[in-house]
Amino acid sequence: MDITVNILLTIATAATPLLIAAIGELVVERSGVLNLGVEGMMIMGAVGGFGAGYLTGSPWIGLLAAIIVGALFSLLFAVMTLSLATNQVATGLSLTLLGLGLSGMIGTSFVGQPGVRLPNLDIPVISSIPVVGKLIFGQDPVFYISIALTAAVMWFLFRTRTGLTLRSIGDSHTSAHALGIKVIRYRYLAVIFGGACAGLAGGHLSLVYTPQWVENMSAGRGWIALALVVFASWRPWRVLAGAYIFGAVWIGQLHAQAFGIPVPSQFLSSLPYLATIVVLVLISRNKRLTMMNTPASLGQPFVPDR
């Protein structure tokens, strides 16, 4: 039973950064912007969060720094794609490469340094309840933030006027502009929100998941988060389910190696990425479902009439 509980705890921990990054990207894509720089924003959030936490000794300051770094990096993407109307795909890929290289340079002095870990929630008596206590009441604070964030985004997109406006921009920015909606303003806010979420996801990696700095420690999670949004058909609750499925695959391959299953470790390590490819192939077979939920203006540049 203890082994099962520990495995479930590690699955929740592994799924949390995927969920946060994917929820942020979902909001961005609902506004009609395709940001492929999630991986770069995550790794910059990871190094920024670790650095701030290490220098101040406070993991909370580190977490705040990770959010700010991710938001600032996304602001660079927003300026280039929304104000200067550069190609969104090329710009996102460029920022990912920039983030990977810049984080490696900034984090050189942090390699091998002891990190500060964000402590798990510990409620007296309740946290000691068998199974349920640890799984529900003994997680790290970012886990609860990720669940609350998913619920808040779901409510915002489908229960508020502003969320409806954001979705209308993603479906037809030309029509939204004709109705007097500030398309660029909404998209700026959506992109910054997505960057802040990616930064928070990166901060979770370096302050909770593995409280240390390792170059390229995001290990492709940003790309998996992008795939999760498509997997979920741009629905927040499906992102939640998908994040935990991918988290289970990620942790499953680690435990498979630990248990000595006679399968090459390289194959086991590739399972999360193979699962991503399989999911995308299966989704692409149902073109009707994909086209029905895809924001019609996704990836299309918008230049308002002067």
Whether 126 maps to a domain, the answer reads: yes
Q: Is 306 part of any domain?
A: no
Mean pLDDT of the chain: 88
> Is residue 301 domain-resident?
no
The answer to whether residue 299 sits within a structural domain is no
Domain ranges, residue 254: 2-293
pLDDT tens digits for 104-153?
Answer: 999 998 988 888 998 887 776 676 676 676 777 778 899 999 999 999 99
Q: Can you give the pTM of this predicted structure?
A: 0.91
pLDDT above 70 for 28? yes
- Residue 94 falls inside a structural domain: yes
pLDDT digits (tens, 9 = 90+) for 60-83: 999 999 999 999 999 999 999 999
What is the number of structural domains in the chain?
1
Q: Is residue 300 part of a domain?
A: no
Residue 256 placed within a domain: yes
CB 173 within 8 A of CB 183: yes
Question: Other CB atoms closer than 10 Å to residue 124's CB: what's the count?
Answer: 6
- Please indicate, yes or no, if residue 103 is contained in any of the structural domains: yes
- Residue 113, domain CATH: 1.10.3470
What local confidence, expressed as pLDDT, does residue 51 receive? 94
